[in-house]
Structure 1
Amino acid sequence: MKGRVVIVEDEELVAQDIRYILEDAGYDVAAIFHSAEDLLESLDKLKPDTIIMDIMLEGEMDGIDAARIVRDRMDVPIIYLTAYSSDEIVRRARETEPSAYIIKPFHERDIKVNLEMALYKHEAKKNRLKLLRERTINEHLKRSIEEKEKLLRELHHRVKNNLQLIISLLSLQIMYIEDPAIDEFFRDYVNQLRSIAMIHEGAYPSSGTYIIDFNAYIRSLSSHLLNSHEKASDVSVRVMGDPAELNMDTALPLALITAELISNSLKHAFREGGGEIIIEIRRLNGRHRLIYRDNGSGLPEDVSFPDGGSFGFRMMENLAGQLGGHIEVKSSDEGVVFTFEFFEQFYVDRIT
């Protein structure tokens, strides 16, 4: 069937003639009414695809008045079929925006062509409106995303500035410290802050968040820490493994863990000369593995991970837990190996 059609015609023979024409053309004639009142009473139940309606009908309401009410209740094309063509009738009919206006006596082809065109134009209009709505929604979403990205860039910029301010304040304070132990304590915290700042410096936007090339980050971080500990000429750092592009929720804890490992090696592992640090990242099925090794002197016999060491060891274990894993340690006279498997973290909106 091509569509459901309702006929509103007070001449029974004319109504039946139209019904035969439509059914022969493949349309489903849902009902025939002789008055506008009968049409309106059954309209919501029938849900026609189009209405063919005479203007002069039985009852107190004519077809034009009925069409106005139909328009308010549903979006359906209306075809007028009438013997009246006076200027006043045409003017009133035009105000209801009919899909066609057929003058009696009609030809069979007039009914078929006008009905087909009415249905086609109505469907085309719906598609245009749908496309316009989708375009409007897409434009709104695009503007919304641009505004959020602008806000995210601004917040990102402010974080970097604030971190730099704190680093500068601590660095200035260190200049007035004479106790070597306190000096080292503050320098460790400055390095941790710098490791966070470098994450923000190297991050780039992608899909509504910020992404870090973690291999490139480790190279920059290790270079900074080597210079900070004055070990640039003695210790080499090799970064190897698979590409690792991590989001901020994952990269920040991992950055603090890596910075702590490198700092510990530079302070404790190479007391008798130079050495080598190898940092390897591997992508596994649904997770990552970080392998950190140095060829230094290994952990002292009285130091165990995490509880038997410094605050840094406990911090590393807590950060590892945030990433869904734990750190395994193997130590010998030939060096130490830290192995850590972790899962990439994704921000979850906590607002309810």
Structure 2
Amino acid sequence: MEPRNRFDRSIQQDSSPVDDDLPGAGPEPHPASILIVEDEGIVAQDLKEALTRLGYRITGVASEGAQAVSMAAQLRPELVVMDVSLRGEIDGIQAARMMQEHAHVPVIFLTGHRDAETLQRAVMTGPLGYLIKPFQEDELRCAIEVAIHKHRAELQVREREEELRRSAELLQNLSLIDELTQLRNRRGFFELAQQALKVAQREHYAMGVFFMDLNGLKRINDTLGHQAGDQALRDTAEVLRDTFRSSDILARIGGDEFVAMAHVHSTQDLHALAGRLREHLQIFNQTHRRPYPLNISVGMTLVDIPTEEDLESLLARADAAMYEEKRAVSNRA
């Protein structure tokens, strides 16, 4: 155990009165909240009185490491002033390490130890201050102010980094989204679908690839204008969202072309999805008054696992199947 020394209070804080009416005098800043961790009652009381004189707010006093960790999580102080050597199974260094795992609360260590081993253990926890007993009150105040300032600066840096990360993530998402339909664009589809194909190959389950074409888009643009054409594309996206599951990958890959990759078990599932798409198209045309009928051609292919085909080949196969359907409809007409 370290020697228990009450710190030297020979230098006191200047207690001269402050005239609040002086020009430029603003409201005092909110006092920093501090948790004291000290298992010697007299020393803890001295610390509490000194910190109160220095203008800080004491949120609590803990005498054991486990208690300190719990109080730090509950009270969320701006700073912990903690003795290194605490009675019990958890000393101050271990308690500081546990605090850092749950919250980034800054710690100032107080110790009578001067040996290199204790110092090295303490430094590894990343404290923002380390005072050797006995110390003077102004040394304590300086250590606290430096620690709080450094901690707030670190918080600002982390907030800026988080904001930059969110901005980068937003830009990344925007680069993967089709602005008109809010489906994935071609790049977004390939990034997700290639990963889904790898997972399917690893987990040995089948996938279905669909290639879909909005029929008559050029005619809608030529006769009704591009605003109507844009609405037809948004309508198509709405019908596709209603047809496929949220876990399926939907995209508009350009012009009037849409693709989807869905988790299926058999060719029967492919035809069931295509049938559901036609039902939803019929319902949409009946319930929405548009100057055009929404009509979509569908080609599909089952991805048997394992497969050596890449995503481009699978899309080409589904595209060929779609044009076969177009020719069959044209011949029947």
TM interval, short-chain normalised: 0.3 to 0.5
- Greater C-alpha Rg: 1
TM-score by length of 1: 0.44
More relative contact order, 1 or 2 (CA 8 Å, 6+ apart): 2
